Structure 1
Amino acid sequence: MKKRALLSVSDKSNLVPFAKGLDKLGYELISTGGTLKALKEADLPAKAVSEITGFEEILDGRVKTLHPYIHAGLLARRDEESHVKQLAERDIAPIDVVVVNLYPFKETIANPDVTEEDAIENIDIGGPTMLRAASKNFRDVTVVVDPTDYDAVLDNLGDNGGTAEFRKTLAAKVFRHTANYDAIIANYFVDITDEEDPETVTQTFEKVQSLRYGENPHQKAAFYKEGNVKGASIANAKQLHGKELSYNNIQDANAALEVVLEFADQPAAVAVKHMNPCGVGIGETISEAYQKAYQADPVSIFGGIVALNREVDEATADQLKDIFLEIVIAPSFSEKAIEILTVKKNIRLLETPMEINETDTKKVVSVIGGLLVQDRDNGKILANDLEVVTDRKPDAKEIDELLFAWKVVKHVKSNAIVVAKSDQTLGVGAGQMNRVGAAAIAFEQAGEKAQGAVMASDAFFPMPDTVENAAKAGIKAIIQPGGSKRDQDSIDECNKHGIAMVLTKMRHFKH
């Protein structure tokens, strides 16, 4: 009996050469819809599925392959005598090769103007059913879902019809593919039904690249991205120059991007080291913003990651080239900037959109044996939200500086303190076991520049000692959430030293 191959694909890349290869190997070709048309136009002897089933497509093509003559041909075990007998009794021919890829659901919902009706019509039913059936029976059936596998499949089939181990590898790929497909659909329905905490969370990601190693050389790592990621994202970034990103590069680049996105309304530059901002500046131009970020901590920025929210121009590129930087991230680079920066062999240049993805509302963190899922910390504070609790009220300039420091401290590991002045960070105390220790680091880094500066704290002061030390450093205004049982002690300490304090009533812990 002649072997049979069923082809039904939405992605017709290299379909005809592959089908010709199957025909040359002696396979009878059966097909549906647009795939059948493409094969016929290539003068290939393909039969319609309806010729096999004796049943025409109905319901606008919703039902065409969901038929016993198809699925019995896929699922019958060739080594099971009763299966072979039942096929013979019903004159059903086995199907040996299945080539299917699915309706473009992911691509359909990527359109911001997609309607619910269009999305639902692009949910494939027959395709996943055939793929799963063929994959379950991989001992006898070769199943192909990826056009990049066509050449390898033809090579394998030429070896006496293929090998079971190769078919198993293809089947495993199919199950990953259909799981990914179903996960995207499931998450779409979570979104359109406004489900807050579904009983299961199904995540799916597509591989971007294998990494040389993880945080340390003895750890293996790879980088994956969400299927329909939009807007600002390292997963979306286009690398213009430099060697491959490492695990730590990606972590730090993401941290830098998250900070710079806080400053959409003005040119901003952020330098990051070990996932904490070491220098942040805003200015009239991106060059001025970068200069402030650099001067904030010219020691720590060395070997760091810099994110800028405006095009890198010639003037900024001239500044960036003067020190060793691992990565520069920006929405674009001028031709002259690229010319200047690509002289440095190892610097990585990444372009990414700077628009915040409004649909990316959840943050997921792995723990041993599970996941923590929470809303992203998208909390914003405006001047009108601040509660002044001290005798001295901050002036308009201090309010701007306090809000600047507040945007930065949100992205510093807790316990976190940020000292800032004139649209520039001066000291950052990150990740300490107590707030006094975090403040001490920030004050030491700021040095004499702390005189007349402002200070932000990601959480309340449990005791007045941090305020007392702030007064010694020369701090003139403080922004903090408040909420401690001993808030009044800190307020009294501020009043004692003429420090203005405002409360946000919003905490920004970052673990």
Structure 2
Amino acid sequence: MNSMELKYGCNPNQKPASVSMEDGSDLPFEVLNGKPGYINLLDALNSWQLVKELKQALDMPAAASFKHVSPTSAAIGRKMSDRLKKACFVDDIQGLDDSLIATAYARARGTDRMSSFGDFIALSDVCDETCARLIKREVSDGIIAPGYTQEALDILEKKKSGRYLVLKMDPSYEPAAVEKKQVYGVTFSQKHNDVKLDRSCLTNIVTENKELPDEAKENMIIALIALKYTQSNSVAFAYDGQCIGIGAGQQSRVHCTRLAGGKADNWFLRQSDKVLSLPWKEGVKRPDKDNFLDRYIALEETPEAAIEIDWEEKFTEKPEPFTIAEKRALLAKEENVVLASDAFFPFSDNIERAIQSGVKYIVQPGGSTRDDVVLDYCNQHDLVMVCNGIRLFHH
């Protein structure tokens, strides 16, 4: 089948809508369940490229959580600590340690749970039963993967009263060398962005400190590949095999950095003793927990204001305030975080903000007339910076 009618375009009034293969070949994916929409497929095809490239670059199962054509996070499969499992609300998933593809998605979904609500999922590897059980209980619009075990498919087909979108991607598919799209009746064309992001693009270390460990290189690759499929301007913070904060689509790069840094702070603080020991009542739903934690953890939020909102409905006893001083003290201990940017940093204010979230390693294209200012600031703070000359704008 080389074409498919969709429910509608970006909005319900935009009908008719369809996808097709211009060369007459079959579509590279199969719909196993549900009916796709326009945005569903934009998320599916962009997120598939991301996880496919991560798997190729690092030889590890990879997953992404996508919303509105940008990832909320991307991660490789790696065992999770008990603390991280609890922070991601997956400490009750049986068999999680035995499924790397499930841990990859648990990490991606658990990074920025507010943004991942109603996400589209991409998996580099076959979806197994453990991963499907995790997906079953989260609010999500659909999934794309190269295959599914029968047990996983049986679970996913029942989600959303049988309407959950399940796509099977042909892993051997390669796009045409030139891609096209239309805007306002005008056709644009460009070479498909086939730049390879791996360890070979991390050799130009420009700072005085040139100690770049393998773990940092791995996190740089994860962040760079995520940015390749993130709406620009964009930056990503990465740590422990996953993106822990992505700032996407901002006109100012420092606003991207602030946004991503705030999400990285949230990820660290969710794993604090104060958050993990909150006395939740039995039956409080995960989205309700997320809504509370978003305010309880926020550095700009007064702790009393967060607690006073319906705490009786959520907790067996009134939580203690999580003071801003406590939060800053915990964040000051974090280190070895990676910061990646899809284009050069024009000012050192980005680096100043990044340091507040534990950034030690930076990768960016370079090429600003103020590169020397940014480099001097990195040297003053003993950071390691790679300038790889690769811009990753995505629109």
Normalised by the size of structure 1, how large is the TM-score? 0.56
Deviations 1:60-97 (A, max 9, x none): xxxxxxxxxxxxxxxxxxxxxxxxxxxxxxxxxxxxxx
Runs of 4+ aligned residues of structure 1 deviating over 4 Å after TM superposition are 227-230
Equivalent pair of 1:251/1:275 in contact (CA under 8 Å): yes
Q: Which residue of 2 aligns with 1:85?
A: none
Query: Do residues 493 (structure 1) and 377 (structure 2) align?
Result: yes
Deviation at 1:472, TM superposition (A): 2.2
Deviations 1:459-481 (A, max 9, x none): 00111111111112221101000
* Alignment of structure 1 residues 80-159 onto 2, 5 Å: none
Specify which of 366, 384, 392 is matched with residue 200 of structure 2. 384
Deviations 1:228-267 (A, max 9, x none): 577xx9x32222222x111221222122122112123320
Supply the distance in 2 between the matched residues of 1:296 and 1:487 (Cα, whole angstroms): 31
Q: Which residue of 1 aligns with 2:156?
A: 341
Supply the distance in 2 between the matched residues of 1:497 and 1:229 (Cα, whole angstroms): 56
Q: Secondary structure at the match of 2:166?
A: strand
What RMSD over aligned residues (CA atoms) do the two structures have, in Å?
1.9
Specify which of 15, 35, 42 is matched with residue 220 of structure 1. 15
Q: Secondary structure at the match of 1:293?
A: helix
Q: Which residue of 2 aligns with 1:363?
A: 179
Equivalent pair of 1:229/1:236 in contact (CA under 8 Å): no
Q: Which residue of 1 aligns with 2:43?
A: 252
Q: Which residue of 2 aligns with 1:262?
A: 53
Query: Do residues 454 (structure 1) and 246 (structure 2) align?
Result: no
Q: Secondary structure at the match of 2:356?
A: helix
Equivalent pair of 1:221/1:247 in contact (CA under 8 Å): no
Specify which of 121, 125, 128 is matched with residue 306 of structure 1. 121
Supply the distance in 2 between the matched residues of 1:239 and 1:217 (Cα, whole angstroms): 21
Equivalent pair of 1:471/1:499 in contact (CA under 8 Å): no
For the pair shown, the structure with the greater C-alpha radius of gyration is 1
Deviations 1:21-71 (A, max 9, x none): xxxxxxxxxxxxxxxxxxxxxxxxxxxxxxxxxxxxxxxxxxxxxxxxxxx
Q: Which residue of 2 aligns with 1:351?
A: 168
Residue identity opposite 1:409 in structure 2: L
Equivalent pair of 1:207/1:222 in contact (CA under 8 Å): no
Deviation at 1:382, TM superposition (A): 3.1
Q: Which residue of 2 aligns with 1:207?
A: 3
Q: Which residue of 1 aligns with 2:320?
A: none
Give unmatched runs, 5+ long, in structure 1. Answer: 1-204
Q: Which residue of 1 aligns with 2:225?
A: 407
Deviations 1:399-450 (A, max 9, x none): 1111211111111111101011011111010000110001110001110637
Supply the distance in 2 between the matched residues of 1:412 and 1:496 (Cα, whole angstroms): 31
Q: Which has the higher contact order (CA 8 A, sep 6+)?
A: 2
Equivalent pair of 1:257/1:307 in contact (CA under 8 Å): yes
Stretch of structure 1 that moved more, 340-349 or 323-332: 340-349
Normalised by the size of structure 2, how large is the TM-score? 0.72
Give unmatched runs, 5+ long, in structure 2. Answer: 79-99, 269-330
* Alignment of structure 1 residues 430-469 onto 2, 5 Å: 430-447=248-265, 449=268, 451-452=334-335, 453-469=337-353
Deviations 1:467-498 (A, max 9, x none): 11111222110100001111111111111112
